[in-house]
Amino acid sequence: MMEMYLYLALFAPLAGSLFAALFGASPKTLWTGLITSGLLFTSFVSSVILFSYLLSGGEVIHVEMMTWMATGNLYIPFGFVVDEVSATMMIVVTTVSTVVHVYAIGYMDHDKGFNRFFSYLSAFVFSMMVLVMSDNFAGLFIGWEGVGLCSWLLIGFWYHKETATWAANEAFIMNRIADLGMLIGIFLIYWNTGSLQYDKVFAEVPYLDIDTVTMIGIFLFVGAMGKSAQFPLHTWLADAMEGPTPVSALIHAATMVTAGVYLVIRANPIYDLIPDVGYMIASLGAFVAIFAATMALVNRDMKRIIAYSTLSQLGYMFVAAGLGAYWVALFHLMAHAFFKALLFLGAGNVMHAMDDELDPVKMGGLRHAMKWTMVMMTLASVALAGIYPLAGFFSKDKILEVAFSGDHYILWGTLWVTAGLTAFYSFRLIMLAFFGEKRHEALGFHPHEAYKYVLWAMSPLAVLAVIAGWFEHEFVHFITHLLPNFEFHTHHVEMILIIVTSMIALGGIITAIMLYKNGPLSKKWEERPCYKVLINQYFIPQFYEEFFTKPYRELSRVLWKEVDMKIVDASVDGIANTIYGTGEKTRHMQDGNLSSMLRWMVIGLLILLTLAAAFSFGTSDTVQQALSDLGAI
C-alpha cells in the first residue's frame, strides 16, 4: 500500500511534466498550470502520508523497480527508499514546489512560454524526487544530473536574452566540472565495495582502508560543492538569477542547491570515518558563509542579494554537516527552504510591481502599495536573521552551538559575525525596498500588489517560516532513527550563546534600520576600494575568464589549426602528393571522372584478388622465406 504512495509521490510530477510538454510550443493554456500544480499537490499529499507513516513508527519503505544494468560483474538495480531522511526531503521539495507552481500560474501569466515553463518545472521536481528517493548512488547521480539539466533549461528560460543563456551555460559547465569529481567518487565506491546500494556500501565502508575512504569523501564533496555552489564554484549561483523568479525560489534557494548538503547527510557513514575531511568541509562552509554575506552587503540587485544569502546559509549547513551534526544540517536545510523560498517569491512580487526593476535603490516606500508582500518578506527576513521564535532562530542557533561544542571557536566566531551581517543585509534590502521615500515615483513606476491568490499561495510558506522551528524535539527524535545524534557539550553555556547570537542579529537589524531609514547611503561610499572589491565579487569572475576560459579556447585553436590541419592532415596529404608525383604517368586514371575511377577500382580489386589467389596456390618457399625474414610469420 505504502509502495503505491511512493510511486505516486515520485511519478506524479513526471506525469505533469509530460502533459505540459505536449503543449510545449503552443500558446498559453491555463490547464497546463493547473494540472501540473494538481499533480504536484498529489505528490505532496503522498509524501505527507509516507512521512506520517514513518512518524508513527512504520518500517522504512524500500522498493526495487528493475534491474537497470547487468553485464559481467556489473550489476546495478534501480530502486527507491523512503526513510527518515528522504521523507523529510520529500516534504520539503513537494511543499515548496507546490507553492511555487501555484504562484507561477500568476507570475508567468503573460509569458509566451507558459506551458513550457510548467513542463520544465515539473520535470525538475521529478528529478529532485529521484535524487532524494534513490536507494543507490547511481540513481542519486541520475537525479543529480537531471536537476542540473532542468536548472539549465530554466535559467536560460528566456533564451532570447544573451545574459540568460550565458548564465545557464555557466551553471551547467561549473556543475559538470563538479559532477566529474562526484562521478569519480562513485566509481571509487563501486570499485572498492562492489556495489552502489547505500546500505551495502555503508556496511562495507568501515572495512576499507582510511585513504580510500578519504578519497571517496573528498570526491563526493567536490560534487556537492558544485551543486551547492561552494567556493570556488560559487559564481554560477548569483548569475543563475537570470531565470524566472519562481525558479530562483524553488531551485536556487530551496531544493537543488541543497542537494550537496543532502549528499553529505546521506553519506554520513562515510564522513563519520573521516573527521578531517569533515573539518575541511566545515571550514570551507564557514568561509563561504562570511564570504557570500560580505558580497550581499553592497549588491544592488534584489535577487542577487538573496542569492548570496542562500550561498551563505548553505555554508552554515556545511559547517553542521562537516562537524558531524547531520540532523542539524538537515534541520536548517528545511527551515531555510521555507523562508528563503518565501523571500524569493516576495521579490518576484516586487519585480512584477516594478516592471522587472531589481535595484532596491530605485524602489523605496513600496509598503504602501504592497502591504502583504512587505509583511511576508519581513517575516522571512526575520526568520533568516534568526530571531526568536521564528524558524531560523532554532536551526541557525543549533549550528553555532555545534561549532562551539567542538571547540571550533574560529568557526563559531566566523558564523557569529556572519549572523550579524545576515541580519544587516536582509534589513538593508527591506528598508531600501519598502520604507523611506517613494524614489520609484520619479522614475515613473506604478507598483501594485500581486494577485490575491498569489499571496494566498505564498501563505503556507509564511506560516512554515514561523513555526517550522517549534518542532525541534520531535524532529530530533524522528530523524535520529537514521542519522547519528550529536553530543552537545554546551549545556552550561547554552543560554549565553543564545543571547550572544541573538544580540548580534538584533544589532545587525537595528544598524540596517538606522542606516537606511532615509534611503540609500551617499555615493561617496561607492568610491572606496573595499566597495569596489565587494561589488565585483572579489574579481573572481574576471579571474576565471582570464585564466581558464581564454587559455582553453586558445588550446582548442592550436590543436585544430596547428596540429590537426598542419601536422596530421598535411602529412597525410604530403604522402598522397608524393605518390601522386611518382604516378604522374597514370594521371589519366584520376581524371576526376567518377565512372572511370570506378572502372579502375574494379580492375585493381580484381588484380589484387587474383594475386591473393595466386599467392595462396604458390605459397612457395621463396615467398615464405621473404616473409619470415620480415618477421611476419
Partner 1 sequence: MFYLTLIFGPLFLAVVVYALFRNFEGVVKYIALALFAKMLAASIELYNALPAEGYLKLGSFLHVEAFNYVLTLQVDMLSVVMLILSSLLLILVTLSSWTMKNQAAYFSLLIMFSGAIFGVFMSTNLIWFFIFWELTLVPMFFLVGIWGAEQRVYAAVKFFLYTHVASMLILLAFYLLYAQTGFLDVTLIKEAAIATPALVWWLLFLGFAVKLPIFPFHTWLPDAHVQAPAPISVLLAGVLLKMGAYGMIRFVIELMPESSREYAIYMLILGLITAFFAGFLAIYQTHIKKMVAYSSISHMGLVMIAIATVSYEGLSAALYEMIGHAFIISPLFLIAGYLHHKTGSWQMGDMGGIVQRAPYVSAIFVLAGMAALGLPGTMGFIGEITILISAIKVNGAWIAVIALASLISAGYLIWTFRRVIYGEMSPVVASADFKMHKIEFSALVLFAGLIVLFGLYPQPIFDAANQAFAHFGGVQ
d(Cα 267, Cα 188) in Å, to the nearest integer? 14
Binding mask 146-175 for partner 1 (x = CB under 8 A): x--x--x---x--xx-x--xx-xx--xx--
Other beta carbons within 10 angstroms of residue 61's beta carbon come to 20
Q: Which stretch binds partner 1 (CB under 8 A): 51-59, 187-195, 379-387, 519-527?
A: 187-195
Q: Which stretch binds partner 1 (CB under 8 A): 318-326, 402-410, 442-450, 562-570?
A: 562-570
Q: Which stretch binds partner 1 (CB under 8 A): 63-71, 352-360, 370-378, 422-430?
A: 63-71
Question: What is the nearest approach in angstroms of partner 1 to the Cβ of residue 404?
Answer: 39
- Rounded to the nearest 10 degrees, the angle between the axes of helix 84-107 and helix 2-22 is 30
d(Cα 307, Cα 231) in Å, to the nearest integer? 14
Measured over the CA atoms of residue 261, residue 262, residue 268 and residue 274, the dihedral's sign is negative
The answer to whether the beta carbons of residues 135 and 81 sit under 8 Å apart is: yes
Measured from the CB atom, the residue of 443 and 627 that comes closer to partner 1 is 627
Binding mask 71-110 for partner 1 (x = CB under 8 A): xxxx------------------------------------
**Under DSSP, is residue 624 helix (H, G, I), strand (E, B) or coil?**
helix
Which of 410, 495, 514, 627: binder of partner 1 (CB under 8 A)? 627
Amino acid at 573: D
Q: Are strands 74-82 and 61-71 parallel, antiparallel or unpaired?
A: antiparallel
Measured from the CB atom, the residue of 459 and 590 that comes closer to partner 1 is 590
In order of 33, 222, 270, 392, the CA distances from 461 in angstroms are 20, 31, 34, 13
- Ramachandran category for residue 80: left, alpha or beta (phi over 0 → left; psi -120 to 50 → alpha): beta
The residue count for binding partner 1 (CB under 8 A) is 71
Which of 27, 616, 622, 629: binder of partner 1 (CB under 8 A)? 616
- Give, as one character, the DSSP assignment of residue 522: P
Question: What is the nearest approach in angstroms of partner 1 to the Cβ of residue 118?
Answer: 16
Please report where in the chains the cell 513606476 appears, as a residue: 445
Q: What cell does 143 get? A: 537525479
The answer to whether the beta carbons of residues 341 and 96 sit under 8 Å apart is: yes
Show contacts with partner 1 in window 1-40 (CB under 8 A). 24-25
Measured from the CB atom, the residue of 2 and 142 that comes closer to partner 1 is 142
Measured from the CB atom, the residue of 235 and 502 that comes closer to partner 1 is 235
Which of 203, 576, 603, 626: binder of partner 1 (CB under 8 A)? 576
Which of 49, 55, 60, 142: binder of partner 1 (CB under 8 A)? 142
Q: Which of 310, 366, 301 is nearest to 339 (CA)?
A: 310
Binding mask 312-351 for partner 1 (x = CB under 8 A): ----------------------------------------
- Rounded to the nearest 10 degrees, the angle between the axes of helix 371-385 and helix 494-516 is 140
Show contacts with partner 1 in window 188-207 (CB under 8 A). 188, 190-191
Measured from the CB atom, the residue of 152 and 434 that comes closer to partner 1 is 152
Measured from the CB atom, the residue of 83 and 145 that comes closer to partner 1 is 145
524 is a site residue for partner 1 (CB under 8 A): no
218 is a site residue for partner 1 (CB under 8 A): no
Question: What is the nearest approach in angstroms of partner 1 to the Cβ of residue 11?
Answer: 13
Question: What is the nearest approach in angstroms of partner 1 to the Cβ of residue 4?
Answer: 21
Q: Which of 429, 205, 400, 385 is nearest to 296 (CA)?
A: 429
Measured from the CB atom, the residue of 156 and 360 that comes closer to partner 1 is 156
Measured from the CB atom, the residue of 41 and 68 that comes closer to partner 1 is 68
Which of 210, 496, 514, 572: binder of partner 1 (CB under 8 A)? 572
Q: Which stretch binds partner 1 (CB under 8 A): 224-232, 270-278, 476-484, 556-564?
A: 556-564
The answer to whether the beta carbons of residues 270 and 205 sit under 8 Å apart is: yes
Measured from the CB atom, the residue of 29 and 165 that comes closer to partner 1 is 165
The answer to whether the beta carbons of residues 130 and 192 sit under 8 Å apart is: no
Distant-in-sequence, close-in-space partners of 269: CB < 8 Å, separation ≥ 6: 202, 205, 206
The neighbouring-strand residues paired with 79 are 64
Measured from the CB atom, the residue of 237 and 466 that comes closer to partner 1 is 237
Distant-in-sequence, close-in-space partners of 357: CB < 8 Å, separation ≥ 6: 351, 363, 440, 443, 445
Question: What is the nearest approach in angstroms of partner 1 to the Cβ of residue 277?
Answer: 18
Binding mask 390-429 for partner 1 (x = CB under 8 A): ----------------------------------------
560 is a site residue for partner 1 (CB under 8 A): yes
Measured from the CB atom, the residue of 407 and 562 that comes closer to partner 1 is 562
**Residue 44: what are its φ and ψ, rounded to 5°?**
-60, -45
Binding mask 577-606 for partner 1 (x = CB under 8 A): -------------x-x-x--xx--x---x-
Q: What cell does 2 get? A: 505504502
Question: What is the nearest approach in angstroms of partner 1 to the Cβ of residue 605?
Answer: 6
Question: What is the nearest approach in angstroms of partner 1 to the Cβ of residue 194?
Answer: 11
Measured from the CB atom, the residue of 495 and 613 that comes closer to partner 1 is 613
Question: What is the nearest approach in angstroms of partner 1 to the Cβ of residue 336?
Answer: 27
Measured over the CA atoms of residue 256, residue 10, residue 159 and residue 555, the dihedral's sign is positive
d(Cα 414, Cα 395) in Å, to the nearest integer? 17
Q: Which helix (H) or strand (E) holds 26?
A: none
Peptide bond into 246 cis (omega under 30): no
Measured from the CB atom, the residue of 226 and 406 that comes closer to partner 1 is 226
- Give, as one character, the DSSP assignment of residue 68: E
- Give, as one character, the DSSP assignment of residue 136: B
d(Cα 121, Cα 431) in Å, to the nearest integer? 32
